Structure 1
Amino acid sequence: MLPHATPGKPRKPTPFAIFALLVALFAGAVVGVSSGEGVFAQGARAEAALELRRETLFVISASGRHRFEVEIAETPQARARGLMYREALALDAGMLFDFQEEREVAFWMKNTLIPLDMIFIEASGRVAHIARETEPLSEELVPSRAVVRFVLEVPGGTAAQLGIVPGDVVQSDLIGSAGQPG
């Protein structure tokens, strides 16, 4: 029994105890989100915890019009999670990251189990740069090398196989509306 406790009568928490608990909970949530881990770090549970909007996207290259079904990562939590912990990705699948403004960005492959091509895209839909066959689990930064609004991640080798190069155009409902007033 605690000193000064009345037997059989629960103690009310002090305002300081409530404040300290809230600070600890908030700090834990921030660390989990900023590290890309926390509630999103456990395989199948993470997939259920982070349901993303999907859309069809096309990349127009010299070799044709290539269709992808993509998940949209448009929140900080979704962008931090990305394609981490995925063991496979269909050849016509990917993830489109929307930063909602144009800026230089950098990605890494921490906790990403499969090689990816990262296609860096301007707000207009023009491909600015491609990082090909990025190394799984690497913590080395992969820079956009240009000011971009979007990044499309697809299975490693896809860009080379389909002949996708800088200057090609990416089309989707989201990218088409990027330059439109909200």
Structure 2
Amino acid sequence: MSKSMIILIIVSTFFGALFWYFGGQDIQNEIPYYLKKATAKTTTIAVREVIIDAEVVETPSAQQRGLSGREGLSGNRGMLFPFAEAGEHSITMRGMLFSIDILWIHEGKIVHMVDDALQPKDSAEPAVYTPPVPSTYVLEANNYFIQESGAAVGDFVALGLTQE
């Protein structure tokens, strides 16, 4: 192997390590999102002109798992839970590592919201959030979404399901 090739490998390794140390691990956190997005059903949701790119979880096992175990959501991303029938669909915070905003949606409008929902660290039992009214969708979003969008109960929600 030539001397210039060895120097190139060493320099590349050095810059790669610097990249990884100063933010490259953030890209690693995004890899599962983009791999799932390649095969997952997604939707674009608009609340007061703020757009969320949401993964749609339709199976009971995927709905039960939800965002549990994930380290967070970046940007305006979320998870949408569609239900076949209207009901008081509870959200359990089991295994959640970050706080979220939860919006219950029925007939195209927000019917209930929880701002900054989090699983308490000192509790063995998972926190459970249940709306007082029926809904057909539940949206989990970053914990700043309600404040950022100015969302309020009664606001119209535009759901545009797309397959990617």
TM normalised by structure 1 equals 0.62
| Aligned twin of 1:12 | none
CA distance in 2, matches of 1:132, 1:92: 15
Deviation at 1:169, TM superposition (A): 1.2
| Aligned twin of 2:160 | 173
Say whether 1:132 aligns with 2:115: yes
> Gaps (5+ residues) in structure 1?
1-43, 175-182
Deviation at 1:109, TM superposition (A): 0.7
Deviation at 1:136, TM superposition (A): 3.1
CA distance in 2, matches of 1:84, 1:74: 16
Deviation at 1:147, TM superposition (A): 0.5
Query: How many correspondences in the alignment?
Result: 122
Deviation at 1:85, TM superposition (A): 0.8
| Aligned twin of 2:95 | 111
2:157 counterpart SS class: strand
| Aligned twin of 1:79 | 63
Alignment of 1:39-118 (within 5 A): 52-60=40-48, 65-118=49-102
TM normalised by structure 2 equals 0.69
Deviation at 1:157, TM superposition (A): 2.2
More strand by percentage: 2
2:70 counterpart SS class: coil
CA distance in 2, matches of 1:112, 1:157: 16
CA distance in 1, matches of 2:105, 2:40: 20
Question: Aligned-residue CA RMSD in angstroms?
Answer: 1.8
Report runs of 4+ in structure 1 exceeding 2 Å deviation. none
